Amino acid sequence: MALNKDALAKYKKASEISKKVKTYGKLLAKPGVSYLELSEKIEAKIRELGADLAFPTNLSVNDVAAHYCATHNDKNVLKKGDLVKLDVGIQIDGYIVDSAISFGIETKEHDKMIKTARSALDNAIKILKPGVKVSDIGAQIETTIEKAGFKVIKNLSGHGLEQYVVHAGYNIPNYDNKSNETLKKDDVIAIEPFVTNGRGGVKEGPSSGIYELYQTKPVRMYKEVLKHIVETYKTLPFSERELQKKFGPLKTRLALGTFVRAGILHDHKVLLEEKGSYVAQFEHTIIIDDKPIILG
């Protein structure tokens, strides 16, 4: 489906905000800075610049590969030597730019892994055009990572994006999955290579505190909480931390538990690599064309 000028303008504005926010977040990330403080400042900056969150700030450190979201009482702080993955989602009227960077905290120890993740993304983007196979994108990523002596995380992947939907349509693999599925002009996708010195696969950990509307159903309790979720976030992921600011910790926790058990909300889990390993990630959102439009 062709993108109209209004949608394209919103994507490009979200892209510029994404770039500024990632730079801002990296500058703030120092030893002793709490995950909570960093996440809250990044989210405030997104809104200050005229956009809103497509999903809560993901601040995943070391062997935590993805989906770590600071809680309202999070005590974790950044430490010298940490490898940080900062994944931010920017949306303007539901047009989403999903983008991520990796960086070390006062260390060069992880530079090769970080550079490899960046190169894997760059090499994948080089072959993008209408008609390219998603498996060929994965092959570019896999080859780049393995040549550098690292492993690709095969059970994490990129994805398509639609208005107000972060994960839609395509699965963009990080390895050659032999799929014959091809991309079309004006498709919007996110490519996100994950590089590790661990096992090359993630397992689910505890709840991330990130929730997403799966379906709506009549509820007897916490109707006002569900109404707020539907009206405020629509189908976009949101954090328990943010919901607590309106409804308080106890009511929020009880409501979310009720909605998850009823199949109304999906509860995202923290995704963990092998304990003691490291993971690097880079990500861009891209609009497919003969000359791809790189966002974020």
Instruction: Report d(CA 276, CA 133) in Å as an integer.
Output: 35
Query: CA 13: distance to chain centroid?
Result: 18
pLDDT at 150: 99
Q: What is the pTM of this model?
A: 0.96
Token couple for 165: 């939907």
Q: With cut-offs at 50, 70 and 90, classify the pLDDT of residue 54.
A: very high
Residue 1 has pLDDT above 60, yes or no: no
Question: What pLDDT, on a 0 to 100 scale, did the predictor assign at position 5?
Answer: 93
> With contact defined as beta carbons under 8 Å apart, do 241 and 57 qualify?
no
What is the percentage of the chain residues whose pLDDT exceeds 90?
Answer: 98
Tens digit of each residue's pLDDT (9 = 90 or more) over 217-247 = 999 999 999 999 999 999 999 999 999 999 9
What pLDDT score does 198 carry? Answer: 98
What does the pLDDT average to over 266-276?
A: 98
Q: Over the stretch 183-208, which tens digit does the pLDDT of each residue have?
A: 999 999 999 999 999 999 999 999 99
**138 contacts 145 by C-beta, under 8 angstroms:** no
Q: In the prediction, which pLDDT does 86 show? A: 99
The tens digit of pLDDT for each residue in 128-180 reads: 999 999 999 999 999 999 999 999 999 999 999 999 999 998 899 999 999 99
Domains and CATH numbers, the chain: 5-202+276-295 (3.90.230.10), 206-270 (1.10.10.10)
Which positions are catalytic? 87, 98, 159, 167, 192, 283
- How confident is the model at residue 282, as a pLDDT? 99
Terminal C-alpha separation, the chain? 22
